[in-house]
A and B are shown apart, each in its own frame.
Chain A
Amino acid sequence: MVYQLPREPSWHRVAVWRRLKALGALYLQDGAAALPEDAVTREQLEWLQLRVREAGGEATLWEASPNTVAENAALAEEFRGLREAAYGELIDAADELRRKAEMGDGETMLLEELARIDRAFRNERRRDYFKSPLRKVADAAIREARRVVREGAGRAAREDAG
C-alpha cells in the first residue's frame, strides 16, 4: 500500500502506522508498506485504504514482486527479522515466568501473566508470514512455563485440600 495522509491531525497517521505494524507489514519507505499477498492481508489492506481515504488521505494498493530471486529472499528475511525481536521478548518473559513459578510465587499473578504471554504469542504467530525460526523456540519456552505454572497450581490445590 502506498499512502499519504494530511500532516494534521497526526493521530490518523499514528493509527494507520499502528495498524500496519499490527498486521506485520514491512515499510519499504515512508508511506509505502508491504504485506505478503493472501485473502486476509488483501482484505485488511482494502479496509485500511478506505480508512486512509476517510481521513482525507490517498492510498493505492499494488500487487508487486521483487525483480530477482535474491531480492525476494532478502525481503522474506526482512519480514522474519521483524518478528525476531518480539519472539525474543516472549522467550524472556516465558523463562522469567517459569522461574517465578519454580519459586512458588502468587498463583493468580502467574496465571494472568501466562494468559498475557499466550495472547501475545498468538498475535505474533498470525503475522509471522515466513515462519521465523524463533517461533519454535518461543513455543517451547511457553509450553515449559505453562507446565511449571500448572504443576504449582495443582500443588497449591492439594495443600488447600489437605
Chain B
Amino acid sequence: MLWATRRGCHVDRMACMWLIRRRIDPNAGFHFFGDASEAPEGAELFDVAGARLSHRGDACTFETMLEEYDLDDPVLREISEIVHDADLMDDMYGRPESDGLDAVIRGMQLALPDDETLTLHTDAIFDGLYVYLRRETL
C-alpha cells in the first residue's frame, strides 16, 4: 500500500513510518509531497491536516494511529508519550527522552539529503527505543 505525507519529516512522521512498517503494513511504500494536492491518488495520507490519520485535539499523529489501528501495547504507549512531547513541545507527559530524540532527529534531518534516506536511519532509533522500554516496562 502507498502512504503519503509532507516533505521535511520530523519525529512524529518518522515514528509513524516506523509504526506502519513494523505493525501495520510491512510492504509499505512512502511518497513525500510539498503540497497535499500532489499526493498520488489512492495513497493513505498521514500527518496531513484534514486526513483521517492526523493530529486530533491534543494528540499527535502517532497517538491517533495507535487508536485507529487498535494497537494496545504498553511499550508503544510509552513511545507515543515521548513522540508527543518531542512533536508538540508542550511537556504534556514530561518525558525526558523527548529532548534527546528531538535533537538527534533534527540533526539527522540536517545531515541527510532527503526524507527517503532519513527514514532508513530513523527506524533503527525507534527499534532501539522499543527494546529498551520493553525491558523497563514489562
Seen from chain A, the residues whose Cβ lies within 8 Å of a Cβ on chain B are 19, 22-23, 39-40, 43-44, 46-47, 49-51, 54, 119, 122-123, 126
A46 and B49 within 8 A (CB): yes
Closest to A40 in B: B10
* Given A50-B55, A122-B99: A19 touches B10 (CB 8 Å cut-off): no
CB of A79 to closest CB in B, whole Å: 17
Q: Is B74 an interface residue (CB 8 A)?
A: no
Which residues of chain B in 44-98 are interfacial with respect to chain A, using CB atoms and an 8 Å cutoff? 49-50, 54-55, 57, 88-91, 94
Cβ contact within 8 Å between A119 and B10: no
B interface, by DSSP: helix, strand, loop or mixed? Answer: loop
Alpha-carbon distance A123/B10, docked complex (angstroms): 19
Determine the distance from Cα of A123 to Cα of B98 in the docked complex, in whole angstroms: 12
Instruction: Evaluate contact between B10 and A44: CB separation under 8 angstroms.
Output: no
With CB as the reference atom, state the residue of chain A lying closest to B90.
Answer: A22
Question: Of A22, A49, A50, which one neighbours B89 at CB under 8 angstroms?
Answer: A22
Q: A40-B10, A49-B49, A54-B57 are in contact. List 20 more A-B contacts (CB 8 A).
A: A19-B90, A22-B89, A22-B90, A23-B89, A39-B8, A39-B10, A44-B88, A44-B89, A46-B49, A47-B49, A47-B55, A47-B88, A50-B49, A50-B50, A50-B54, A50-B55, A51-B55, A119-B91, A119-B94, A123-B89
Contacts A/B (CB < 8 Å), 5 sampled: A39-B8, A44-B88, A47-B88, A50-B50, A126-B89
- A22 neighbours in B (Cβ, 8 Å): 89-90
Size bin of chain B's contact surface: 10 to 19
Taken together as a complex, chains A and B put the C-alpha atoms of A36 and B50 apart, in Å, by 25
Q: How long is the Cα–Cα vector from A22 to B88 in the complex, in angstroms?
A: 10
A119 to B8, CA, bound (A): 27
Q: Which residues of B contact A51 (CB under 8 A)?
A: 55, 57
Instruction: Give the shortest distance, in Å, between A20 (CB) and chain B (any CB).
Output: 12
Cα separation A47 to B88 with both chains bound (whole Å)? 9
Q: Which of B88-136 contact A (CB under 8 A)?
A: 88-91, 94, 99
| Residues 1-35 of chain B, each 1 if its beta carbon lies under 8 Å from chain A, else 0 | 00000001010000000000000000000000000
Task: State in angstroms the CA–CA spacing of A20 and B51 once bound together.
Answer: 24
Which residue from chain A places its CB closest to the CB of B61 in the assembled complex?
A47
Q: Would you list the 9 A-B pairs with minimal beta carbon distance, nearest first?
A: A50-B49, A47-B55, A39-B8, A22-B90, A50-B55, A46-B49, A122-B99, A126-B89, A123-B91
Flag if A43 contacts B99 (CB, 8 Å).
Answer: no
